[in-house]
Amino acid sequence: MVAALALPLAVLAVATPADAGTRKATTPSGSDYEWSNVAISGGGYVPGIIYNQTEPGLVYARTDIGGAYRLDRDSDEWVPLLDHIGWDEWNRLGVLSLATDPVDTANVYAAVGMYTNDWDPNNGAILRSRDYGETWNATALPFKVGGNMPGRGIGERLQIDPNDNDILYFGAEQGEGLWRSTDAGVTWSHVASLPNVGDFVPDAGSDNSYLTSNLGVLWTAFDKASSTAGDPTQTIFTAVADTSDILYRSDDAGATWTAVEGAPTGFLPHDGVIAGRYLYIATSNTSGPYDGSDGEVWRYGIDDGTWTNITPPQRPVGVDFGFSGLTVDASNPDTIMVASQIQWWPDVLIFRSTDGGATWTSIWDYDWSQSNPFVVRYSQNIDEVPWLAFGKQPGPPQMWVEPAPKVGWMVSALEINPFDSTEMMYGTGATIYRSSDLTNWDEPGGVIHITPEATGIEETAIQDLVAPAGDVDLVSAMLDLGGFVHDDIATVVNTFQDPYFGGATSVDAAGLDASTLVRAGTDGSGAIVAATSHDSGHTWATSPAATGASGSGTIAVGADGTHVIWAPAGATARYSADGGVTWADTSGLPHNARVEADRVDSTRLYAFAAGTFYRSTDGGATFTTVSTGKLPAEGPVRFAAMPGTIGELWLAGGEDEGAYGMWRSPDGGATWTKVKGFDEADTVGFGKAAPGATTAAIYTAAERNGQRGVYRSIDGGTTWTRINDDEHQWGWIGADIEGDPDVFGRVYIATNGRGIVVGDDSAATAPSVWKSSTVYTEGEVVTYGGKVWVATWWTQNQRPGDVWGPWQEIAAEPPGVAIWTPSRLFDTGDIVTHDGHLWRSKWWTRNQAPGASQWGPWEQIG
């Protein structure tokens, strides 16, 4: 039968496999690193939740920019499945659809790609796994796939024939039509017999290509009863984005198709589910996920062709809305649930029917026939994820008030567990919620309990990071959520408060005063502001709004926490000389400069724009050009000052067509030397020095000698080691990278959709204890007397502690400034701390204490 069907399918083009072997880690250099995430728990839109229909408990989730996940039922945590996606294939972290095989349940497929317009240079692909998503193969498609385009929450475009699981269908966007695989997703052919490829675009008159993309073919549903196991399903329905003809039917396994008579018109078919002898359809008048002001729910009789309008009548606040998130209880086919695709105020609505859609109840309602007209069928607890209140004080829902937390918004994924009628999960624009007592809904006065179910899902777009020394582990700036002050990276905490940020672009901490933090972003009213804290983020002072600015730009704070420089996008930069209390315009900087601070000299601030480097020595009041024509003039650039030194700067960035790589300046930006070996570099950050090392560890996301990866140097940039491997790449990671000042080897990586990745060096151990019988050569490190020592020359049986001997005691404060020790050799310009002051060496010195003599080698600088 399969062979007979090949000709009527009219193959026009073939998608072929892009790779043949199973993906495995191939680079051993990163094997000593263990990777995890800073705990945020959710943070982005989850447009799809997909239960396997034959293996109890197996469920997947797909995200629009953060890949796909599988729920580990033992730990109740979601496991990321696409972290192997690399820099060049970043678009494959956008998952437009996912399918789990009902026959061979270890099989899972994903249709991946980020955008169908020119924002994405790459075509899409179909990924396939035979081991629940542990490893993947890919088939490249000859067109783009829009995992983050309008309509990404509509149904599941990728479907597996439940009778013959070698057959898959995929509905493409942009007029590319319906595609079919007969070899379990290895190759794909265009199904030319489907006469309609869709024509709906969100806004045909827009000049924004994001809104003019044709949604195309939407989803496919199989009438399993029309065939037997091992034979292709005969009756298939496929929905298209055409408000005049939304649904097509084939009764010969996809050889021919006809429009379904009597199908509703005027709306898009967002979801379709076959249960028993009915096809249920939820519709909306727009693509979503942000809009939708009208829609209907219909039931179609597969055997008799009759259509019945079963739209829920409840409209609590008097406005209409579209529908999505359709699900049917597999254990009780008359039980149906559907969500309002969007209702921004006061909250989304979820409806439930136990009689096939004849009557409905809603999760909340205003029923004026009751003595208490506010009817609530849920209780919601967000204690484990407090930021879901989005800056408001949590409390029980009240009439005519937007609740905190909300039931949700953008609810396109709504599913009842096919093996457990008490479990429901649904996705929102920020998380997944779950109820484990769903059938309580049906009891008089019954209440279901809703809690977040997104542990392990990290779907935030990180803009900036800073890791202060001391009690605070990490401070982050991100889109949508604003950012966090994490005292403990393993604990979910609340977002920035007072002021609350709806989005942030930049954070910093003072190099010598870790309790001083600054951030820039957009507050709850939409104003672009900066905020300063001198108590590790417990309280904040807010700047005046940056009127006329197009974005919040970048912000930096001087080493002692007194001087702050803020460069809002599209506006004049401003500075504060009193720790963020008052602000004034700075001079000498162009709009849109990137600003950073020296980590030791509190008056030194730096800026970069379009190939020109600027420096301020008066706390940001004025800037002067110190170099031009030596650095990338195009492309994104990140730079940072080395902890523990004055004026040592590292810069990474550029673009393919011009200068691209990493540069170092030892003199505050006046001169720059390109760091050898880097074909490309995009971020640079610093962390705690390795035991015995005299400079901070350096981290970068870069391409070195032809290989993309995350690299570390522990010897000041002389040598570099790739610390990640091919299974841990996380797509585009060009926003920021930071080392931890308190934990050697720990690194934080900003991703665009996979949250904040944390790497810990599992091989990092304390140096061995000094032994008299051991021969030591220059550079070897030992511990003795609770201190760390490094050999200056060959030595044996010479106990550490002789200030003129072969051993130097190496010590530093957490911010990276060296602690003066008598045995250590210091060179001209070295910075130390001693007796509560900062000192700079005027010449080579050993065993000469700072401050001991006015004629000595040290000058006090702070």
Neighbours of 539 (CB within 10 A): 12
Q: Would you state the structure tokens that stand for residue 401, as one six-digit string?
A: 């008030």
CA–CA distance, 48 with 289 (Å, rounded to integer): 12
CA–CA distance, 844 with 821 (Å, rounded to integer): 14
* Rg of the chain taking only CA atoms, in angstroms: 30
Neighbours of 76 (CB within 10 A): 11
Give the torsion sign (CA, 308, 312, 318, 324): negative
**Residue 833 to residues 23, 804, 852: CA-CA distances in angstroms?**
50, 21, 14
CA–CA distance, 470 with 224 (Å, rounded to integer): 61
Residue 365 designated active-site: no
Instruction: Please choose, from the candidates 686, 678, 692, 594, the residue with its C-alpha nearest in 3D space to the C-alpha of residue 648.
Output: 686
CB 653 within 8 A of CB 838: no
In DSSP terms, 452 is beta-bridged to: 433
Contacts of 495 (CB under 8 A, 6+ apart): 387, 390, 391, 481, 482, 483, 484, 501
Contacts of 846 (CB under 8 A, 6+ apart): 803, 804, 822, 823, 824, 825, 826
Is residue 93 classed as helix, strand or coil in its secondary structure? helix
CA–CA distance, 622 with 634 (Å, rounded to integer): 25
CB 641 within 8 A of CB 626: no
Q: What is the DSSP letter of 752?
A: B
Give the per-residue SS3 of 253-315.
Answer: CCCCCEECCCCCCCCEEEEEEEECCEEEEEEECCCCCCCCCCCCEEEEECCCCCEEECCCCCC
CA–CA distance, 440 with 341 (Å, rounded to integer): 24
Cis before 405? omega within 30: yes
CA–CA distance, 604 with 17 (Å, rounded to integer): 55
Q: Would you state the structure tokens that stand for residue 439, as one six-digit string?
A: 């059938």
CB 789 within 8 A of CB 783: yes
Residue found under tokens 């149904």: 155
- Determine which one of 473, 480, 598, 740 is catalytic: 480
Q: Would you state the structure tokens that stand for residue 426, as one six-digit string?
A: 């649904």
CA–CA distance, 465 with 519 (Å, rounded to integer): 10
Residue 480 designated active-site: yes
Q: For 399, left (φ over 0), alpha (ψ -120 to 50), or beta?
A: beta
Q: Would you state the structure tokens that stand for residue 146, as one six-digit string?
A: 């829009």
CA–CA distance, 855 with 258 (Å, rounded to integer): 96
Is residue 209 classed as helix, strand or coil in its secondary structure? helix
Over the range 733-764, which residues count as b (16 or more CB within 10 Å of their CB) and which as e? bbbbbbbbbbebbbbbbbbbbbbbbbbbbeee
Phi and psi angles of residue 147, each rounded to the nearest 5 degrees, phi first? -65, -15
- What residues act catalytically? 64, 480
